[in-house]
Chains A and B, each alone.
Chain A
Amino acid sequence: MPFIPTTEENRRQMLKTIGVTDFDQLLQSIPEQIRFKDDYNLPDPLSEYEVTKLLKSIAEKNKHTSNSICFLGGGAYDHFIPAAVGHIVSRPEFYTAYTPYQAEVSQGTLQAIYEYQSMICDLTGMDVANASMYDGASALAESALLSSNHKRRQEILISKSVHPYHRQVVKTYCHRSGIVLKEIDIKNGITDLEKLEQSITDNCAGVLIQHPNFFGSLEPVDEISEIAHKAGAIFTVSVDPISLGVLAPPSEYEADIVTGEAQVLGNALGFGGPYVGIFAATKELIRKIPGRIAGITQDSQGRRGFVLTLQTREQHIRREKATSNICSNEQLCALAATVYMALMGKKGIPAVANLCVQKSHYLAEKLTGISGVEPLFEAPFFKEFAVKLPVPAKEIIDKMKEKDIFAGIDLFRFDYNIDNALLIAVTEKRTKEEMDQFAEILSEII
């Protein structure tokens, strides 16, 4: 439990600084007649030990990745977070820093943002990155808005192999914007190229895909890039940053915009958030990209300094003419990602990625060796794959939960019309013993 002291002396000093002697003086503006004067209907206060004991008993009802083995994926993954990340992020200079609108007092934060942006450009091969978005889903949605705005066209094509929740968020952002959102069917677990070619017109502003996709499969990115560009559309790819440790950077297959979920870089699963969205693009689009951007410059004495730049695009200046209404970023999460990337570096991230590939393929082979278990798709995958089962996935998930294993995601829950299939993710954290145990329990259940 963190220790946050407030002694009587602290209180007296704070009140003195404010300019009062008594807390009640701060309530003067509330009319006497409506001020509450009775006793609070609350139980008696507890001692520090009793509080600790109570909260602990409540918390222990949770199953989490520290007391369970996690094969969950679907956009958020159980990767290892080195201790250095938490140590640096929890420094009060970073942890309590406010939005860096006043450059003179925000050099630390602004430099951290600049480093983050630079590393994202390194990782993705793009020319420019912003200071981060709320999450991968909204970043993808913003790329749809940018595409339509920049091309002055109305249609956006999005592959059905993009995460169902991300597609929902894109739909929400496009609602009432005049954008016509069209979903492209999947074939064998990846975007159906034929359907894409049939659907694309010269009114198409952008093509949005996810790579690896929701099923963990690798998409035919070269072909999709070609189809998109032939129609004059902007090509956006939503990536798993860890996958860029082994997969080609999107610049190599001419992505115009790269978005993605950077939770995998040093951020905890945290019951669904806070996460952090990546947004990077080519130089051509620099004035169109949403969000905050940090830049490097010189002050009046020639010293290096960092500032927020290109702010005239932002909605607090451009107002109703702004192309996006975001004027924030996920700074603490982006900082965690920055520390992770700096620490792991050009050797560490590929090492993590390679372990993910090897381990996931080990497990996939072991599981499909069990009679009744088939791979759902034949497409190559990175660290996540789906298996077809002879029973509903829910059955497997429930039984595994009793053994403190989060078995995976039930694909029945989504708009794919797929029964009896389980989506399983394997990160570098999973050991051979854990995977063997998974296989053993699965073959017992079936």
Chain B
Amino acid sequence: MNIPKDLKYTKEHEWARIEGDTATIGITEYAQGELGDIVFVELPAVGDSTKQFEACANIEAVKAVTDLYAPLSGEVIEVNEKLADTPDIVNKDPYGDGWILKIKLSDTSEADNLLTPEDYEGILP
């Protein structure tokens, strides 16, 4: 199972790439595997705010719709427009082209509440 070392993780299988006061957010390889083929991603609008561990988007697979919980609080500055036509990039490249949203952080100390790659690996079955 691929768990990049440069990312932080959540119990709900989201990842965050923190760069200064912005973060890129997506779901892990484990999550996309459990969901199966993703058919639709409902994105927040640019300008919306996110709150740590609260739902900010949702991901629809063939058999279920699941919420994406924001790993960090902030303001949405960019969403992945490619997902509208090709939501399956999330399956194919969950940590790269399959990123879901980018936020400007409102509280960088929140990163302490996230899991390290080792912690995250520990919670996987």
Contact = CB atoms under 8 A, between A and B. Distances in A.
B63 A317 contact: yes
Contacts of A313: 65
B64 A312 contact: yes
Contacts of B61: 312
A313 B39 CA distance: 13
Contacts of B64: 312, 317
B51 to A, nearest CB: 15
Interface in A187-213: none
A312 B64 CA distance: 5
A151 to B, nearest CB: 12
A318 B58 CA distance: 11
Contacts of B40: 287
A317 to B, nearest CB: 6
Contacts of A287: 40, 42, 60
A318 B67 CA distance: 10
Interface string B51-89: 000000000111111010000000000000000000000
A321 interface: yes
Interface string B8-51: 00000000000000000000000000000000101000000000
Interface string A52-67: 0000000000000000
A318 B60 CA distance: 10
Interface string A298-330: 000000000000001100011001000000000
Contacts of A318: 65
B67 A321 contact: yes
A21 to B, nearest CB: 44
Contacts of A321: 65, 67
16 contacts: A287-B40, A287-B42, A287-B60, A312-B60, A312-B61, A312-B62, A312-B63, A312-B64, A312-B65, A313-B65, A317-B63, A317-B64, A317-B65, A318-B65, A321-B65, A321-B67
Top 7 closest pairs, chain A to chain B, by CB: A312-B65, A312-B60, A318-B65, A312-B64, A317-B64, A287-B40, A312-B63
Interface of A: 287, 312-313, 317-318, 321
Interface of B: 40, 42, 60-65, 67
Given A287-B42, A317-B64, A317-B65, 13 more contacts: A287-B40, A287-B60, A312-B60, A312-B61, A312-B62, A312-B63, A312-B64, A312-B65, A313-B65, A317-B63, A318-B65, A321-B65, A321-B67
